[in-house]
Amino acid sequence: MTILSQVLTPLLFWCTIEDGPTRKAGRRMAVQNVMEIIVEQVLKEFSRSHKLHCECEECREDILALALNHLPSKYASTHEGEAIVKALYTDISLRQTVIKEVMFAAVKVEQHPKCGKAAAVTG
């Protein structure tokens, strides 16, 4: 079994859950920053276990943007490439970095909200 297949096999289950039916490997898709998909998933997991002061679309997008600005971009143009990038997320060091950046971004947005709803909660 090659290293690539060892990495991709456990990931196919995750791709099926997150992206619907499994896609055919290698098919072209629009160029996409796969780190965005990873950060969105981490934010979903984080918001389940930690109550955000405001869960409005604007605050969630601010958290995503702030976290993504502190993480390396990982672009893919095929579904196989997308799976490989998602497989990188199984690396504990990258996973911890992504979680840390999402947490820092959530705290910063909570301290300096831009939406009126959040300001009313903190004010």
User: How much of the chain is in helix, strand and coil states, percent to nearest 5?
Assistant: 65, 10, 25
Q: CA 36, CA 111: separation in Å to the nearest integer?
A: 23
Question: Which pLDDT tens digit goes with each residue over 84-123?
Answer: 888 877 888 888 999 999 999 999 999 988 887 645 444 4
Per residue in 6-31, pLDDT (tens digit) is 444 444 434 433 444 344 444 677 88
**Rounded-to-integer distance, Cα 23 and Cα 80, Å:** 9
State the residue range of the domain holding 8.
3-122
pLDDT number for residue 58: 93
Q: Which pLDDT score, from 0 to 100, does residue 117 have?
A: 66
CA distances for 65 relative to 29, 39, 79, 95, 109, angstroms: 23, 10, 24, 17, 11
pLDDT value of residue 17: 35
Structure confidence at residue 16 (pLDDT): 37
Which amino acid would we find at residue 89?
Answer: Y
Strands (E), the chain: 28-33, 75-78
Q: What pLDDT score was predicted for residue 5?
A: 43
Number of domains in the chain: 1
CA-based nearest residue to 31, from 86, 79, 75 = 75
- Does 1 score more than 70 pLDDT? no
